[in-house]
Amino acid sequence: RMRHYITIDCLKEPEQSAWMDTWLKGTDENMITVTSLSRASFNQLLSRFVLYYEIPIYSTKGGRPRKLQH
């Protein structure tokens, strides 16, 4: 039986992902294209999940977010 794995070396850092580009630099129109939700609607939905998941806050002012736990 053969198993295939993706190693962590091939994954991008979370802050370099296409999603983070859209989140940090994208317009409301970009958010609607990607998620079918406006930024305000996405934030409202995100606030419902904060009770169940630890959601890191990313700041455009600098600082490095924590790496994903694996």
Of 67 and 1, the one with more pLDDT: 1
pLDDT at position 16 is: 84
Percentage of residues in the chain with pLDDT exceeding 70? 79
Amino acid at 52: Y
Q: CA 50 to CA 35: how far, in whole Å?
A: 18
67 CA to centre of own chain? 12
pLDDT at position 35 is: 92
Does residue 59 surpass a pLDDT of 80?
no
pTM comes to 0.56
